[in-house]
């Protein structure tokens, strides 16, 4: 991952968090107050960091290292008097260039949203919610011999520079490499479009971590969010 790619990734996340374009500088922690905010963001990304939240939180954590705030237990401890609830804790992995790893088998692929949503309906609700295939714009769904949707990877543009990838596999067809194959195709399409593929890996999600390793994604950071109530309870 060269400096040019890192600068683009930092810029995309700075804009996502409504920071200045140069806020995510290497070895710098941006601390931003959003009055009345009900969602706290803590980000560590390629040697830069950001803490974004309501005034009471930014004042309370002014002397806290962002790395410590990324620990779920610490984040919850600091927000418990405001009803703090961890809403995400994900690793951020990126692919700078095309990979030599190709799908283990030739996949019959559908680009239709309806087939991707069919995969979502076959999965446990929690899995489908995390994958959130419906919010994507580009879908790559592996079909079985009977054209049954088996697994899907999808992406949407993230601040114009990055492709936010997600994937989901029907539980009856997992451990066949289908997710890896569809993510490979989605990532190739994103690179063709001039975007940097980004894979968010929820904490403890072994499948997502395995896909990232198999396709040579580089883990560059962690993003944690906590929902809070606007006033003390």
pLDDT in tens, 155-214: 999 999 999 999 999 999 998 899 999 999 999 999 999 999 999 999 888 889 999 999
Q: What is the pLDDT at residue 101?
A: 76
Whether the full predicted model's pTM is greater than 0.85, yes or no, is: yes
Q: Are 51 and 32 in contact (CB under 8 A)?
A: yes
Domains contained in the chain, CATH given: 3-93+222-227 (no CATH), 108-216 (3.40.630.30)
- The pair of three-digit structure tokens given for residue 172, joined into one six-digit string: 């009856």
Distance CA 35, CA 54 (A): 5
Please give the residue that has the higher pLDDT: either 203 or 218: 218
Per-residue pLDDT at 233 exceeds 50? no
């Amino acid at each position: 991952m060269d400096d040019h790619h890192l600068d683009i990734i930092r810029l995309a996340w700075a804009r996502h968090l409504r920071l200045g374009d140069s806020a995510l500088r290497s070895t710098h922690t941006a601390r931003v107050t959003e009055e009345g905010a009900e969602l706290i963001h803590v980000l560590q990304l390629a040697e830069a960091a950001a803490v974004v939240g309501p005034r009471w939180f930014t004042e309370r954590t002014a002397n806290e290292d962002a790395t410590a705030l990324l620990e779920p237990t610490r984040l919850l401890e600091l927000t418990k008097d405001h009803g703090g609830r961890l809403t995400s804790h994900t690793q951020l992995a990126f692919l700078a260039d095309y990979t030599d790893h190709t799908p283990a088998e030739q996949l019959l692929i559908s680009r239709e949203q309806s087939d991707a949503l069919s995969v979502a309906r076959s999965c446990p609700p929690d899995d489908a919610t995390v994958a959130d295939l419906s919010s994507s714009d580009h879908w790559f769904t592996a079909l079985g011999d009977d054209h049954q949707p088996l697994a899907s990877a999808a992406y949407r543009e993230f601040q114009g520079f990055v492709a936010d990838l997600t994937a989901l596999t029907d539980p009856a067809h997992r451990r066949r490499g289908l997710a890896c194959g569809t993510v490979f195709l989605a990532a190739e399409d994103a690179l063709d479009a001039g975007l940097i593929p980004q894979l968010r890996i929820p904490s403890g999600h072994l499948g997502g971590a395995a896909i990232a390793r198999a396709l040579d994604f580089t883990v560059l950071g962690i993003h944690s969010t906590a929902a809070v109530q606007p006033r003390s309870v």
